[in-house]
Structure 1
């Protein structure tokens, strides 16, 4: 992964290649490590040895190093505008991807997700002095 690469796209591509190649998921971190450079490599090196062998930990450390967090995706979701000339399906997919990465439904209960959305909207509609 070079300095010009999008870390998310790089990791998604790696995961797809690893899955198609039939690599054991418990080996993914070791297979990825030699291809990391810059901040991604520093994030990997900063992990304790036991965590550096767990792909989910490596991925989280890399994304954190590039400040790719659920908040990043919340902002993408809330700030999305419909660009002229783009297919509606593509825009809908971008919204779906951002919402999924923001809300992380695979790790959270539906009630927690609902609470987060309601709280955010509530904060948005409150008068400015009440937000504090």
Structure 2
């Protein structure tokens, strides 16, 4: 039985959580064999708020490219690698929730941060080491490194 996009939206349960929405959309689109070059056009009518603004603010060609659209949406929503790392490190055990569920929550946070689908194991280790290293630097030196990294990323990404 084919799944429709409104069913995916209903399954997510929270239209404001764009990251969950995209996480539900992608496996559904893959399972239903929707051509990847059509994903942006399929999802566009269902975008709301900042995600919708991101779609309309992109050039037509970029808006039609799902990876570019997704990257722009995530950037506008403030969902970056740094934010994902912070979420991972801020996780705390909650005695009122089921331990198994919390373990899977932590695994999910780690996978989102380390981007398993797009990084090699060596790159993941580098991410872990770099993050740990930056966290242990004296605050002044740490801020200099972050500022250099921001300037580098801005020069690369425009």
CA RMSD across the alignment: 2.4
- 58, 63, 77: which one aligns with 2:69: 58
Q: What is the TM-score with the length of structure 1 in the denominator? A: 0.82
* TM-score of the superposed pair, with normalisation by structure 2: 0.70
Aligned residue pairs total 131
Higher RCO structure (Cα 8 Å, ≥6 apart) = 1
Structure 2: stretches of 5+ with no match in the other structure: 1-8, 144-158
Alignment deviations for residues 89-119 of structure 1 (CA, whole Å, 9 cap, x no partner): 2112111111111112332232232223223
Does structure 1 retain, via aligned residues, the 8 Å contact 2:15–2:21? no
Q: Match for residue 35 of structure 2?
A: 24
Question: For residues 44 and 94 of structure 2, what CA distance do their matches in structure 1 show?
Answer: 37
Shift of 1:74: 0.4
